[in-house]
Amino acid sequence: AQSVTQLGSHVSVSEGALVLLRCNYSSSVPPYLFWYVQYPNQGLQLLLKYTSAATLVKGINGFEAEFKKSETSFHLTKPSAHMSDAAEYFCAVTIIQGAQKLVFGQGTRLTINP
């Protein structure tokens, strides 16, 4: 079965600094990988997804993630943090066999310091 581990339940960066949110996955077959963002009191919004095409994936709001099979990682980055990036971020994995069931990581809460 597939699983996801997000390293760090809380990450704090200064405005303008690099954002790096870590995600490692486990899957016995080639995975599809996703990053979602959740703003306070809202549902989850898709940031970006990896679907076995380009390993560097660009998403909304300046975020991107790189799929590294050798490291089983899919870390999320943004070169320059903005106050509006403060939210909770979830990494998720699925395999395309049978019903498409997303398995989520525990989430990382990102705080931006002025």
Q: Running DSSP on this structure, what letter comes out for residue 60?
A: G
Question: Toward other proteins, which CB reaches closer, 17 or 27?
Answer: 27
In this structure, the chain runs to a length of 114
Q: Is 3 in the site for other proteins (CB under 8 A)?
A: no
Candidate residues 29, 70, 98, 114; the one interacting with other proteins per rule CB under 8 A: 98
Look at residues 112, 63, 47, 44 and name the one whose alpha carbon lies nearest to residue 84: 112
Shortest distance in whole angstroms from residue 38 CB to other proteins: 8
Shortest distance in whole angstroms from residue 19 CB to other proteins: 19
Cβ atoms 36, 43 nearer than 8 A: no
Cβ atoms 95, 32 nearer than 8 A: yes
Q: Is 100 in the site for other proteins (CB under 8 A)?
A: yes
Q: Is 62 exposed, middle or buried (0-12, 13-18, 19+ CB in 10 A)?
A: middle
Binding mask 35-54 for other proteins (x = CB under 8 A): -x-----xxxxx--x-xx--
Q: Is 113 in the site for other proteins (CB under 8 A)?
A: no
Residues at the site binding other proteins, with contacts judged by CB under 8 A: 6, 9, 32, 34, 36, 42-46, 49, 51-52, 90, 92, 96, 98-107
